[in-house]
Amino acid sequence: MSGRVITVAQQKGGSGKTTLAANLAIALLGRGHSVAVLDTDPQGSLGRWFMTRREAMNGTPDLDFGTASAWGVGYECEKLRDRNDFVIIDTPPKIDSDLRPALRECDLVLVPVATSHVDLWATESVLEMADRVGKPVLMVLNRAASRARLTGEVSELLDQVEAPRAGTVLANRVIFAEVLGEGTGVTEKARSGPAAREVQALLDEIGAMLDSLN
């Protein structure tokens, strides 16, 4: 059976796409799944994270990895999903024809929304493109400051968008930036910490949504 594919997409940069992709991959590994990450962003941040992890593990990483430009996404994704339980695709911060292959290949589009009105507005084009290719979406409020008034405002507006949103909110925590530079994930670095609990809770929601699509 082919693996499940999750594409992380958002038009606006700074939404935390790569951080989210990396941490989901590590959390899935921790649950005993085989996992691949596919970097389609020319900036290559997910690839840098993977190479950092590979070096720390003396060249024998526990993740599969691929990279592709738009035209090669389908081919690379097919290879990765044939030998892994999950494939996580990181995408460029733009919405155009380059994103469409990563959406077509996936089982679920994960849309991180940082806590600003501009980030919220940026979701519209992602949702429209996902709808055109007939893919389910789950929005995630990300990099949230728990006591900030703006977080509450954006959260309320997100509830009004006609697309499912995760009940889990990922807070703006330093550890998320730390693990990206270390080639690790929050569920490895601080398994009982609040960041790890948030990622695990989000993963439970993602799993439930994927199961409902069967």
Amino acid (one-letter) located at 204? D
Domain 4-212 class?
Answer: alpha beta
The larger pLDDT score, comparing residue 214 to residue 142, is at: 142
Those residues with Cβ within 8 angstroms of residue 106's Cβ, 6 or more apart along the chain or in another chain: 5, 6, 7, 89, 135
DSSP lists the bridge partners of residue 61 as none
Model pLDDT for residues 8-47, shown as the tens digit of each residue: 999 878 889 999 999 999 999 999 999 999 999 999 999 9
Return the percent helix, strand and coil in the chain, to nearest 5.
Answer: 50, 15, 35
Average pLDDT in the chain: 91
Q: Look at residue 160 in the predicted model and tell me its pLDDT.
A: 78
The domains of the chain are located at 4-212
Percentage above 90 pLDDT, the chain: 71
Q: What is the pTM of this model?
A: 0.93
CA distance 203 to 149: 27
Residue 206 has pLDDT above 70, yes or no: yes
Model pLDDT for residues 158-195, shown as the tens digit of each residue: 777 788 999 999 999 999 999 999 999 999 999 999 99
Q: Look at residue 64 in the predicted model and tell me its pLDDT.
A: 97
Nearest alpha carbon to residue 113 among 79, 153, 83:
153
